[in-house]
Structure 1
C-alpha cells in the first residue's frame, strides 16, 4: 500500500511538472509568435517617426497652400530646385498660358515662326472636344497629363481621344498653320528657316505623315513650345515645373478684360461650348447665380460668353496671387506679358520673350513682328485668323464697340485684376 502511494505521488508530481513545462513552452511559443507579428509594425513606426523627426518630408505634389507662409516653403525647396532650373539645358519646354481672345494666337505665332522651335497650337483642344460637356476643372488632370507627354515628344497620348490608333499629322489641331508640319522634311511647301505665315490652302496639300514621324521631328528641336487656353489654374502646372527632365517655363499672357470681353462677344458663337464648360466648373453660389441664369434681354450665346468672363477674371486673380507668394524657383521660370505691351513695343517684348526661352532673335523675325503689328484695321471677318493689324485699334476697339453698361459690368467684377495689371477704369467723360 505504501509503495503504491509513493508511485502515485511520483506520477502526479511528474505529470504536474510536464503540465507546467508544457505551459511554459506554450507561453514562450505564444510570446514569440506575437513578437514576430509586432516586429514589422515596430520597424515601420520607427522608420516613419525617424523620417518625420530627422528628415524633411517632400510631398509628391506641392501643397500650394504652404506658399502663403512666405519663405517657409521656399527655404525647404530652393536648394533642391536650384539645380533643376537651368535654361542652358539642351532641351527647354515653354507653355504659353493664356485664355480665349487675349491675343494668344499672335503670341504663339512668334514661336511658330522661329526655326529652333517645335510649336503646338492648343493640342488640349482634343480633350475638351472628346469629353464634352465635362466641366473645365474636372478636365485639368487630363490636360496636364497630355501636356507632359507632348512636351516629351510622345504623341501617342492623342490616340486616347480618337477612335483610331493610326493617326497622322492632319489630326493635330491647327496643323494647317504649323510651320514644322508644313515645312521640310515633312512637307516641301515651306522652308523651316524662312519666316512667313503658313497658308491653309498650301499646307492642306501636304502629305499626311504618321504621328511617329512628327515625334522624330520634335526630338530634333531644343525648344518645344505649347500654346493653350485650357489650363484654368496655374497651380495645376507646378508639378510639371518641379520635374527636372522637363525644365518647364511658363509665359502667361494677359489683356485688358474689357478688350477680351469685346473680342469674345465678337466671336461668341465659336466660344459657346468652351464657355459652358467653364461655367459648369463653378457651383451656382450667390456670386454666380445672376450670371448663370439666362438674361431675357440677350441671346443665349451672349449670356454664356459674358458669364464666363467673370470666372476668367477670378482665375487670373488666383494665378497672380499664386505667383506673388510662390517660391523663387517658380518665379525664375515664369514671366507675364500684357498684350498691349507686346503689340505697342513688339521689338522690346520679342527680345524679352526670346531671352527667357533661350532663343536668339534675328532680322527676319524683327521685321515679321513689326509688320504684324503695323497693319490696317482691327481684324478680319474671321476672328481666329492670324493677320497683320493696327495695334492701337486692336487695343482700344472696345471703347467703340461696348456700351456703358457692358463696360461698367466688366470693370465691376474684374476691378482687382485690372488694378493688379495696371489697367485704368473708364470714365463717362472719356466715353
Structure 2
C-alpha cells in the first residue's frame, strides 16, 4: 500500500513538472514574438517616410468608403434579385391571364409587350375633375393585363395646365410614363410615397408594392415591371386637350385619346363635396371650367378630322345612360375584345349606389343628374350665365326655373360642325 501511494505521488509530480515546462516554453515563445514584432515595427517606422495627419485621415476615409461601397453593393445585389424575382412572376402571371385571349388582326401578346420589342396599346382618358373619369378609367382598367397610370399629374396640385411653362413638363412626364420610363420622375415618385392613391388604383402594381415595399418606388423595378404589360391606360384631369396633339402626332407612340365631357352643372355640384376644391379657382370657378370646355371643343373639332383613328369623344351623360353600348363602342375604337371582365364590371358597378362620394358603384342612369335636386336654381343660374357658350356647343339644355330644373332632360344632341363664336385658340 505504501509503495502504491509513492507511485501515485511520483506520477503527480511528473505531470506537474511537465505542465511547468510547457508554461515556461510558451512564455519564452511569446517574449521572442513580441520582441520580434517590436523590432520589425521599429525598422518599418525608420524606413518609411513620415505620414501627415491629413494623409492618415485620407486613408481612413478611403477605407470607410470601400467598406460602405461593399455594404451598398451587397444590398443592391439583394434588391436586384428581388426585382428579377417579381418581374419573372408577373411575366408568367400575364401569360396565364392572356392565355386564350381573342386578339384581332392576327396579333399576339408579344406584339404588345415592350420588353419583347412590341408596342402596347396606349390609351388616355382626358377630362377635368369630377367628370366621370374615375368610373371610365376603371372600366378600361378592368381589361386583363392592364397597367393603369392614375392621374400622372397629381403632383402638380389643383391646377389646370393650359400652356407654358407647365405644359412642357406635363407632356414630358406623361410621355415618359407611357414609355415606362420612371428614371427621372423623382418628384412624381416622392409625391407618391406620401399619397398612396398614385399607385393603389393600379391593381397589379399595388399588389407587388404591398409585398415588396423596398422596391415599390425604385425606378429600376417600375421600368421593368411596366414594360411587361400589353395595355397601358391613363386618365388625365389637369391638362387641356389642345396640348395633347404632341402625343397624337407621334405615330410610334400610337396613343388613343378619349375626351370625356360632362355638363358643367354636374361637375361643379360634384366638386362642391370636395374640401380641396372650393378654395382653388381652377376647380371652383364656372368661368374657367367653361372656357376650358370651349377650348376642348375647338381642339376636338380639329383632332376628329386630323386623327380620326386615334381620337374619340364621349359625354359622361351618354355613357351613364347606356353604359354597355358606349363601352362596347369604345373597345371597338381601341381595337380590343370586349372581355368578360368588362361586362362583369359593368354588371356590378352601374346598378345601385354604394360607398362614399368617390365610389364607382353607382346607379349610372341617375348619377349624372343629381345636380338638378342638389343645387338651388340660383346656383344653377350662376353657372349657366358663365357657361352659355360651352353648354350650347356640347348639347346641354339650360334650366328655365326651379320647377323646370327638377324634371327636365338637360341633354340634347351636339355636333362638332357647330360654329364657334370665339377667337381661334390655335
User: Structure 2 vs 1, CA of residues 169 and 393 (structure 1 numbering), >3 Å: closer, same or farther?
Assistant: same
Which structure 2 residue ranges, 5 or more long, are not aligned?
Answer: 1-110, 113-117, 406-426
Q: Is the Cα contact below 8 Å between 2:160 and 2:238 reproduced in 1?
A: no
**Aligned length, in residue pairs:** 286
1:221 aligns with 2:229: yes
User: Structure 2 vs 1, CA of residues 255 and 208 (structure 1 numbering), >3 Å: closer, same or farther?
Assistant: farther
Structure-1 separation of matches of 2:293 and 2:124: 16
Shift of 1:152: 0.6
Shift of 1:258: 0.9
Compute the TM-score of the two structures, normalised by the length of structure 2.
0.61
Q: Is the Cα contact below 8 Å between 2:147 and 2:202 reproduced in 1?
A: no
Shift of 1:142: 1.0
Q: Is the Cα contact below 8 Å between 1:113 and 1:179 reproduced in 2?
A: no
Shift of 1:170: 7.8
Please show how residues 17-28 of structure 1 align to structure 2 within 5 Å: none
Q: Is the Cα contact below 8 Å between 1:102 and 1:260 reproduced in 2?
A: yes
Deviations 1:390-425 (A, max 9, x none): 223312211111111111111122122222222221
Q: Is the Cα contact below 8 Å between 1:123 and 1:173 reproduced in 2?
A: no
Please show how residues 219-368 of structure 1 align to structure 2 within 5 Å: 219-232=227-240, 234-267=241-274, 269-272=275-278, 275-276=280-281, 278=282, 305-307=283-285, 309-326=286-303, 328-368=305-345
Which structure 1 residue ranges, 5 or more long, are not aligned?
Answer: 1-86, 188-203, 279-304
- Three-state SS of the structure 2 residue aligned to 1:144 is helix
Deviations 1:175-218 (A, max 9, x none): 223212134xx36xxxxxxxxxxxxxxxx566353332222122
1:124 corresponds, among 153, 158, 168, to: 153
1:148 corresponds, among 168, 175, 179, to: 175
Structure-2 separation of matches of 1:246 and 1:263: 34
Compute the TM-score of the two structures, normalised by the length of structure 1.
0.60
Shift of 1:347: 1.0
Please show how residues 32-431 of structure 1 align to structure 2 within 5 Å: 90-126=119-155, 128-129=156-157, 137=163, 138-161=165-188, 173-183=197-207, 186=208, 207-209=213-215, 210-232=218-240, 234-267=241-274, 269-272=275-278, 275-276=280-281, 278=282, 305-307=283-285, 309-326=286-303, 328-376=305-353, 380-381=355-356, 383=357, 385-428=358-401, 429-431=403-405
Structure-1 separation of matches of 2:271 and 2:372: 15
Greater relative contact order: 1 or 2 (C-alpha under 8 angstroms, separation 6 or more)?
1
User: Structure 2 vs 1, CA of residues 323 and 393 (structure 1 numbering), >3 Å: closer, same or farther?
Assistant: closer
Shift of 1:162: 6.1
The answer for the alignment partner of 1:4 in structure 2 is none
Structure-2 separation of matches of 1:134 and 1:407: 23
